[in-house]
Chain A
Amino acid sequence: IVMTQSPATLSVSPGEGATLSCRASQSVSNNLAWFQGKPGQAPRLLIYGASTRATGTPARFSGSGSGTEFTLTISSLQSEDFALYYCQQYNDWPRTFGQGTKVEIK
């Protein structure tokens, strides 16, 4: 299953919102996760089940979608949110990741 993320880069001012998209080449039901990646750190699970926040994920992060179209929304970007974001499907093997969206400071 090929996961396609868009855009590749998103330039946002602190305090603004951001919307990241992830598309699957076939249905993954709601078995979709979002990870946050920062240099020198292991990826951090933010969202699983397409819309369930993992423990410790701030409420400003929300996920939606099912089937093939998914969205990660960050309502008001904080300085610590500027990072790479990856979607991953875990509906089928092999598990596959998208290529990532970099959220950078505008």
Chain B
Amino acid sequence: AQSVSQHNHHVILSEAASLELGCNYSYGGTVNLFWYVQYPGQHLQLLLKYFSGDPLVKGIKGFEAEFIKSKFSFNLRKPSVQWSDTAEYFCAVTSSGGYQKVTFGTGTKLQVIP
């Protein structure tokens, strides 16, 4: 069975600080990795995704994530956060086979202080 772990539950940063949110997954086969974001009062939406190729993927709003296969990790990064990045961030994984069940981590709440 696939699982996802997010180690930071609540992160508080000042504007312009750098961000890194951890995500580790567990699955024996080929996976697809996603980061979703949920802004206050809004629905979950895709931030970025990784399937294959270059392990450094870039998403919307200046976010990027790096897939490190040997560490089963897919950490999310942003060099300089803004107040508008305040949201909850979820790492997710789907298997490449079967019915592509989407499994989510527990989420990280990011609060950016102006």
- A and B interact: no
Binding site for A on B (CB under 8 A): none
Binding site for B on A (CB under 8 A): none
